[in-house]
């Protein structure tokens, strides 16, 4: 592998709180080590359009606390074609970029893996997605902040639910992952959580809500992950209402507000650690790794392993605990 002189950094896929803190860490670590850094705006789209920004340490000042991504982001179909990947590589080479740090979710890492394997350019991937669905890290950037945003919403909804004796169905993001739903469900004291990873029969949910009502509960909150197989919060609410009309019920879809906002201290620290480690790993000759957190240690996981999400498991004890604590 030839010596690295100029690193490209980009964000891709859905934005996540903490991405800016991570860009800051990558840019400043590289500059500290006398490596030039180029910000690639709009991810893979920006590679195809040569949307490059030669960055200085000052360009990443005053962004550690800001949500979103100063490099912008996009979902790019053209890059997925063989011609698109080749064009992106040629543009990178023409700009003297000889290694990449990719910040994003599984789509971003898959793209970086393909680019690196096809053209032998070193890449490091940093898990940046609110979904927490990558195998190379206990936590992805943005998950903690998004979960806190959901909890804040649950707390507010709980006030009105309790005042009116209502049943609320709150739909949260996560694509095929139930991590936000599960963690926010615990921290928000939800009565039930519906997840993509576990099928919940509507009859089972009704039975649970009935037994809680018999136990003198007058209001309830059910968290529905967007990927749940029952078809979303509106559908679940309608089916519950058909057979169980004890409560006046309402639906809230939290949507994209979960992606915004100032990153939590956890996400800022994680972002800084991962960005710092990614540059050091590239300079140490490593490539095609996911830089992640395991326990409290920063670890590198080969991309093929990190992207094999069939290894990813929700903690069963947490689900069991929700059932116990919501009686």
**Positions in the binding site for ligand F6P (CB under 6 A):** 14, 105, 129-131, 173-175, 226, 259
HSE (side-chain half, CA atoms, 13 Å) at 55? 31
Which lies closer to ligand F6P via its Cβ, residue 48 or residue 150?
150
Residue 27 CA to residue 73 CA, distance in Å, equals 17
Catalytic site includes residue 228: no
CA 79 to chain centroid, in Å, comes to 21
Cβ(248)–Cβ(166) below 8 Å: yes
Looking at the Cβ atoms of 132 and 301, the one nearer to ligand F6P is 132
Is the Cβ of residue 96 or residue 255 nearer to ligand F6P in the bound state? Answer: 255
* Interhelix angle 265-283/143-164, nearest 10 degrees: 160
Please state the closest distance from residue 294 (CB atom) to ligand F6P, in A: 22
| Two structure tokens written together for 14 | 């859905």
In the complex, the smallest distance separating the C-beta of residue 215 from ligand F6P, rounded to whole angstroms, is 34
Q: At what angle do helices 179-187 and 143-164 cross, to 10 degrees?
A: 50
Q: How far apart are CA 112 and CA 288, in angstroms?
A: 8
Structure tokens at 259: 């992606």
Instruction: Report in angstroms how near the CB of residue 107 gets to ligand F6P at its nearest.
Output: 8
Min separation Cβ 131 and ligand F6P, Å: 5
Least distance in angstroms from the C-beta of 100 to ligand F6P? 20
Catalytic, out of 98, 106, 113, 131: 131
* CB of 12 or CB of 326, closer to ligand F6P: 12
User: Residue 273 CA to chain centroid, in angstroms?
Assistant: 17
Longest dimension (CA), the chain: 70
Query: Which residue has 């992952």 as its token pair?
Result: 177
Residues annotated as part of the active site: 131
């Amino acid at each position: 592998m030839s010596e690295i002189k100029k690193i490209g950094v980009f964000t891709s896929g859905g934005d996540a709180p903490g991405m800016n803190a991570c860009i800051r860490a990558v840019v400043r670590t590289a500059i500290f080590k006398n490596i030039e850094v180029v910000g690639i705006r709009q991810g893979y789209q920006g590679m195809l359009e040569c949307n490059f920004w030669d960055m200085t340490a000052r360009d990443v000042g005053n962004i550690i606390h800001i949500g979103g991504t100063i490099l912008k982001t996009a979902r790019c179909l053209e890059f997925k074609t063989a011609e698109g990947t080749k064009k992106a590589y040629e543009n990178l080479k023409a700009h003297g970029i000889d290694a990449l740090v990719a910040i994003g979710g599984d789509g971003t890492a898959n793209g970086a893996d393909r680019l690196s394997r096809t053209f032998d350019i070193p890449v490091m991937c940093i898990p940046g997605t609110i979904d927490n669905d990558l195998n190379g890290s206990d936590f992805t950037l943005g998950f903690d902040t998004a979960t806190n945003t959901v909890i804040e919403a649950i707390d507010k909804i709980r006030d009105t639910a309790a005042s009116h004796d209502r049943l609320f169905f709150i739909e949260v993001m996560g694509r095929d992952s139930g991590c936000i739903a599960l963690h926010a469900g615990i921290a928000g004291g939800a009565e039930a959580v519906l997840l993509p990873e576990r099928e919940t029969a509507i009859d089972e949910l009704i039975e649970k809500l009935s037994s809680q009502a018999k136990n003198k509960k007058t209001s309830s909150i059910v968290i529905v992950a967007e990927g749940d197989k029952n078809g979303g919060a509106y559908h679940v609410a309608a089916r519950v209402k058909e057979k169980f009309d004890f409560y006046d019920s309402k639906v809230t879809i939290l949507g994209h507000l979960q992606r915004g906002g100032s990153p939590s201290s956890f996400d800022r620290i994680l972002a800084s650690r991962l960005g710092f480690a990614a540059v050091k790993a590239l300079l140490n000759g490593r490539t095609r790794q996911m830089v992640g957190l395991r326990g409290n240690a920063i670890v590198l996981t080969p991309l093929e392993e990190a992207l094999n999400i069939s290894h990813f498991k929700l903690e069963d004890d947490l689900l069991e605990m929700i059932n116990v604590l919501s009686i």
